[in-house]
Amino acid sequence: MASHKIEYASTPLPTRETATGLSTILKNFLTHHSEVKFLRYQYIDYGAVVRARISPIAHVLRVAAENSTPKMGGNVSDVFALDGTILWDLGTTTTDALVPDWASLRECYYQPGHAVVMCCVAEGSQGPEKLFAACPRMRLWQLVNAAKQHHGVTFLVGVEVEFYIMTKSEGDGGVVPVSTPPAPFTTASTRNAYFPLVEKISDILEKAGIQVCCIHPESGCGMFELSVEPLPPYEAMDALVYIQETIKTVCSAHGFHATMHPRPLEKGSPAGYHAHISMSPPDKADSFLAGVLHHFRGLCGITMPTYDSYERFSYTCDYVSWGTENRLCAVRKIRDAYWEMRLLDGTAHPYLSLLAILAVGMWGISKKMPLEMGDLREFTAKPSEELRKQLHIDTLVPTSLREAIDALDENDVLKELLGPGMMDRYIVFKRIEETSFASKSFEERREIVMRYF
């Protein structure tokens, strides 16, 4: 059996410091951010939920002087289900550690008095040689470095985040979108009490060093989109987490509820998250895209990872396709070696989803895979059979989370690329979630998902 492994660089995180060096980093940071009283050691579990250990700065400095890291129970990445159930069978008696990447340290301008550092999860159950084998953030860091070292390929990633601002409905205690015209780009949606929240979100991101390109009303009532300048992959995903936390926290502080739920209303416009990926040099771009398209069905189990993700994607192409400036395709080509990946939504794990996309793209490059599928220029969600044959469009997009997880489970190449240990656990975790959500109503599922997204 042929091996489909790709090289992962063994490069450690950029700021694994000595105790002296770390204390210096923290003291310099606090000199310029004197109002910070708490630090969030933040990580993301396999359900894409942002979790954190929060410590007073005095304790952080004591831990730094010992060159230690916060400790957690075993397998913290996959023991907490989205509905709040603790999956005891997936736990271990070992200890996990949250290993900070101090290059990601930022003040939480959305939460006065707090700073945040993104962490990789070192799992005690994996043994000393594989501490980070099941950590998507570390794997992404390693893959990006390997792509540069072994293939001379670098990436930039920009993100677009769509979100709804909701308010409590009268009577039933539920939430409904705030009242704005259901039309994109209209200035009428800026003349209300809600748009200043969007402006405040933009101001906070700029203050945090995340450069905003554009904010505008979207096609649903109370719906907006925010896009930012591109960054290297792991920095872009750190920024995405900060963006999502800012949106939710600012709206909550003003009595509203922000959500990135892919389909927060049964009959309303869907909400997504789009990744703009560019690679350099461009000469291997076709092989990269060919790898993504080849593994698309399996990717969906990672990039559209919740039950109602498939309600959102149902309005686009039934078939896996790409097209130049075609927003009805899963992949929109903007120019050579620059694509918009439209197969994502706000419930996707930022690091794992980008890792998966880049991994299958790099697999395509390593195999020198030709791009056999043609450019779908016709703006249609349902290309004719004749056109599909002409362009070699023959793979259906999964229509449910169960189908997507099955496709991922059957994709031995993708599982080997990402690491069988991590993927097997992720698949078990997602199957438990899918079974639980299949027995719930739309309203029950929405209430659970909107707690976090």
* DSSP assignment of 273-287: EEEEEEEESGGGHHH
CA-to-CA distance for 177 and 278, rounded, in angstroms? 34
239-256 pLDDT tens trace: 999 999 999 999 999 999
Instruction: Let me know if residue 137 belongs to a domain.
Output: no
Residue 162's region, left for phi above 0, alpha for psi from -120 to 50, else beta, is beta
* pLDDT recorded at residue 240: 98
The stretch 289-299 carries a mean pLDDT of 97
Determine which of 8-22, 79-93, 137-151, 229-243 has the lowest per-residue pLDDT on average: 8-22
Cβ atoms of residues 25 and 106 within 8 Å = no
Residue 48's CATH number: 3.10.20.70
Determine which of 11-20, 82-91, 284-293, 407-416 has the lowest per-residue pLDDT on average: 11-20
Instruction: Let me know if residue 245 belongs to a domain.
Output: yes
| Residue where the block lists tokens 């310099």 | 28
Instruction: Let me know if residue 13 belongs to a domain.
Output: no
CA-to-CA distance for 223 and 354, rounded, in angstroms? 25
Compute CA 378 distance to the chain's CA centroid, rounded to the nearest angstrom. 30
CA-to-CA distance for 81 and 64, rounded, in angstroms? 32
At which of 132, 161, 182 does a domain end? 132
| Percentage, residues of the chain above pLDDT 70 | 91
Instruction: Let me know if residue 11 belongs to a domain.
Output: no
Q: Which residues contact 362 (CB under 8 A, 6 or more apart)?
A: 6, 143, 146, 147, 151, 153, 288, 291
* 347 and 198 inside one domain: yes
* 90 and 155 inside one domain: no
Three-state secondary structure call for residue 376: coil
Instruction: Let me know if residue 87 belongs to a domain.
Output: yes
Mean pLDDT of the chain: 89
* 304 and 402 inside one domain: yes
Cβ atoms of residues 136 and 237 within 8 Å = no
Residue 9's region, left for phi above 0, alpha for psi from -120 to 50, else beta, is beta
Residue 13 above 60 pLDDT?
Answer: no
* 80 and 212 inside one domain: no
Q: Which domain holds residue 37?
A: 19-132
The stretch 310-319 carries a mean pLDDT of 73
The stretch 339-357 carries a mean pLDDT of 96
60-115 pLDDT tens trace: 998 888 877 888 776 777 778 888 778 767 666 678 888 999 999 999 999 999 99
| Residue where the block lists tokens 């072994």 | 150
* pLDDT recorded at residue 316: 66
Instruction: Let me know if residue 143 belongs to a domain.
Output: no
Residue 161 above 70 pLDDT?
Answer: yes
* pLDDT recorded at residue 46: 93
* 340 and 372 inside one domain: yes
40-62 pLDDT tens trace: 999 999 999 999 999 999 999 98
* pLDDT recorded at residue 343: 86
At which of 100, 132, 164 does a domain end? 132
Residue 198 above 90 pLDDT?
Answer: yes
* pLDDT recorded at residue 371: 98
The stretch 294-302 carries a mean pLDDT of 97
* 107 and 153 inside one domain: no
Determine which of 123-127, 150-154, 423-427 has the lowest per-residue pLDDT on average: 123-127
385-406 pLDDT tens trace: 999 999 999 999 999 999 999 9
* pLDDT recorded at residue 267: 78
* 180 and 309 inside one domain: yes
* pLDDT recorded at residue 208: 97
Residue 303's CATH number: 3.30.590.10
Residue 355 above 70 pLDDT?
Answer: yes
* pLDDT recorded at residue 350: 97
* 298 and 258 inside one domain: yes
The total number of structural domains that make up the chain:
2
CA-to-CA distance for 413 and 12, rounded, in angstroms? 26
Q: Which residues contact 1 (CB under 8 A, 6 or more apart)?
A: none
Instruction: Let me know if residue 144 belongs to a domain.
Output: no
* 126 and 227 inside one domain: no
* pLDDT recorded at residue 396: 93
* 127 and 157 inside one domain: no
* 120 and 155 inside one domain: no
* pLDDT recorded at residue 172: 62
pTM to 2 decimals? 0.92
* pLDDT recorded at residue 8: 47
Instruction: Let me know if residue 406 belongs to a domain.
Output: yes
At which of 77, 103, 132 does a domain end? 132
* 331 and 389 inside one domain: yes
